[in-house]
Chains A and B, each alone.
Chain A
Amino acid sequence: MTMWATLVVFRKEMRDHLRDRRSILVAMIYPLMGPLLLGLMFFFVGGSMRVNEVAALVVPVVNPESAPDLIHFFESRGVEMRPVRRNYWNAVSGGRIAFALVLPVHPEAGEDTPLAVRLVANPARFDSIVATGRVVDMLNQYQHETARSRLQTAGLSAGLLDVLTITQENVGTAVGPAVILLTMIPPFLIFTLFTGGVHVALDSTCGERERGSFEPLMMNPVTRNQVLAGKLGATVVFTLMALAVQVVAFWVMLHSVPEESLGLVAPPSALRLAIVVSVCLPLVFLASAMQMLISAVTRSMKEAQTYLGLLPLVPGLAGMVLALAPVTARPALAAIPTFGQTLLMGQLVRSEFVSLGFIGITAVATLLTTALLLVLSFWLYEREAVLFPQ
């Protein structure tokens, strides 16, 4: 009878909430927002950067007549030099041109005097960043070639210029902006874990109390623990549904973005994402237990909604901080529920090495905390007042 009563309550809550638009919206539609947002960033930002890298370069130039050799060098490499007469500063800051190459009006004569070249750019614009990067590369190339030519003219070896040969090898599967975007996935997952089943938890406890259906329910030969366990089960299933929707959406998004968009060399594999889900599992129970606890101590659904609305922000903020200021994964941090998982998930989505011991500590600490919260919730639900509308 113990398990039977719990199963009956669980089945009723599932049937009830699968018919509830709000429960479905929170569990199945809201989780798509994170992948959609990141996908848009990868598509539009990454797309515009890629287009700029391969498109013909047009360089707005001020005083082109003062450095004909330089202009010829650029033009010989297919670059269109577009003279800008005046107000170049306003043109760049006003967004009419992405940047301007400014040459001096009267360059000083002589080979031993460097040509003062200025690049006026707006680093807030992605097209400006990409284009000025290409112009700086070409200026360096011009400088290098001119210096080699001068050395050869002076009878010296051109090799004198080459002090270092630099080669960078990347062991990661993401570089540049992709790293930051991938690190934003764990906070989205944590947020979903703490919101996916929230409506089910609230409606089946506070809502049931407000509608006056808790009292007749408890007139049946069932204990409060059995009833709560059934409601907890439904909350856990809805949270899992939300998690599954979001993980699948992230997987689809990461495999649909333009190749090497924003530096994403290889998206996390399905196996990696499966491990991410397994790392999240203890948090599913923790989030559901917290929701049950809050519904036990609040007097109305509105009051509970106020607290539960803030709840995901706490672990979510930790994740956002980690996204911007990475922390080394240490065992002591693993024992902090949500923080440990955020660290782990960050490593997983960036395809870094993860320690099994760290995963174990995180899971055990979170499940212990969950058990404590559940004991407290079940104890609070034994109070008489919890059955009646306040």
Chain B
Amino acid sequence: MIEVRNLAKSFGDLRVVDDVSFIARDGEVTGLIGPNGAGKTTMFRLICTVLRPDRGVTLIDGIDSQRDPLAARRRIGVLPDVRGLYTRLTAREHLRYFGELHGIPRGELEARIDELVTTLRMEDFIDRRARGFSRGQQMKVALGRALVHRPHNVMLDEPTNGLDVATSRAVRDLLRQLRAEGRCILLTSHIMQEVGVLADRIVILAGGQIVLEGTPAELRRRTGLHDLEEIFMAATQQAAREPDLAAGQ
């Protein structure tokens, strides 16, 4: 479970995340959505400890990520928006590198890699160097890298960005499988349809603050709108018109 309490982060005078609190529960997919510049990526970076908050606490399965960042990182697997692969390493070497950084014993690691190769359908390119990989192949390597240590909490930033239909569907199936295993999944996406289909709970960010939060049914009831895109537009436009009211929705 990922619990965020009163998280705040500024870059100079610009307040990017402003007193944000929410919970991403186990066995659920929590969708974090918002317009460009809403603070989603910064939120992601704060939760996975590559940024330090000015204020607030993040608990990963009850572990304070500021006090013990390494223990918190052992509990999360992250698929960042920029996949950041090493072009001279093979897909298998990527998975092995990140597995070794998690201290997984060699034999067990190789078994997990074989398992991921099957799950993510990487058989065709697992021993090829990453130079020239398609976006789908890059995403699969980055996803495998995030899952190699079997994290209880999985964070995915735009997981289907730039992928074809078949690969996007495979990713969605995988997320459902992870949810069924009782893992906590936090994802961001610009594709409202995807969030609507996958997310059990939705957090809408705008201007660094939460403007709306709840299950899809709760959001429909609260806004009186049916379509998630309409709900998103209404919430973010209202926040833009009334920034002071946004925090206290």
Q: Interface on B for A, CB 8 Å cutoff?
A: 45, 48-52, 70-71, 73-74, 76, 78, 80, 82-86, 88-89, 93, 97-98, 100-103, 129, 142, 145
Q: In the bound complex, do residue B84 and residue A221 qualify as a contact, i.e. CB atoms below 8 Å apart?
A: no
Q: Which residues from B are CB-within-8-Å of A211? A: 84-86
Q: In the bound complex, do residue A215 and residue B84 qualify as a contact, i.e. CB atoms below 8 Å apart?
A: yes
Among B50, B76, B100, the residue within 8 A (CB) of A8 is: B100
Kindly identify, within residues 201 to 243 of chain A, every residue whose CB is under 8 Å from any CB belonging to chain B: 211-223
4 A-B pairs with least C-beta separation: A213-B84, A212-B82, A212-B84, A220-B101
Shortest CB distance B122–A (Å): 18
Give the interface segment out of A13-21, A72-80, A307-315.
A13-21
Shortest CB distance A382–B (Å): 10
Shortest CB distance B94–A (Å): 10
Q: In the bound complex, do residue A20 and residue B88 qualify as a contact, i.e. CB atoms below 8 Å apart?
A: yes
Kindly identify, within residues 1 to 47 of chain A, every residue whose CB is under 8 Å from any CB belonging to chain B: 1, 4-5, 8-9, 12, 15-16, 19-20
Which residue of A has the minimal Cβ distance to B81? A212
Q: Which residues from B are CB-within-8-Å of A216? A: 78, 80, 83-84, 142, 145
Task: Flag whether A284 is at the interface (Cβ < 8 A).
Answer: no
Among B97, B101, B145, the residue within 8 A (CB) of A221 is: B101
Q: Which residues from B are CB-within-8-Å of A15? A: 89, 93
Which residue of B has the minimal Cβ distance to A222? B101
Q: Which residues from A are CB-within-8-Å of B51? A: 384
Which residue of A has the minimal Cβ distance to B73? A221
How far, in whole Å, are A140 and B142 apart by their CA atoms in the complex?
Answer: 84
Q: In the bound complex, do residue A8 and residue B101 qualify as a contact, i.e. CB atoms below 8 Å apart?
A: yes
Known: A4-B103, A16-B88, A219-B80. 7 other contacts (CB 8 A): A5-B101, A8-B100, A214-B84, A215-B50, A216-B142, A217-B84, A219-B49
Among A4, A12, A219, A384, the residue within 8 A (CB) of B78 is: A219
Q: In the bound complex, do residue A222 and residue B80 qualify as a contact, i.e. CB atoms below 8 Å apart?
A: no
Q: In the bound complex, do residue B84 and residue A384 qualify as a contact, i.e. CB atoms below 8 Å apart?
A: no
How far, in whole Å, are A217 and B83 apart by their CA atoms in the complex?
Answer: 11
Q: Which residues from A are CB-within-8-Å of B142? A: 216
Task: Flag whether A61 is at the interface (Cβ < 8 A).
Answer: no
Q: Which residues from B are CB-within-8-Å of A5? A: 101
How far, in whole Å, are A212 and B85 apart by their CA atoms in the complex?
Answer: 8
Q: Which residues from A are CB-within-8-Å of B78? A: 216, 219
How far, in whole Å, are A222 and B70 apart by their CA atoms in the complex?
Answer: 7
How far, in whole Å, are A12 and B145 apart by their CA atoms in the complex?
Answer: 15
Shortest CB distance B109–A (Å): 11
Task: Flag whether A387 is at the interface (Cβ < 8 A).
Answer: yes
How far, in whole Å, are A211 and B78 apart by their CA atoms in the complex?
Answer: 17
How far, in whole Å, are A214 and B82 apart by their CA atoms in the complex?
Answer: 10
How far, in whole Å, are A20 and B175 apart by their CA atoms in the complex?
Answer: 36
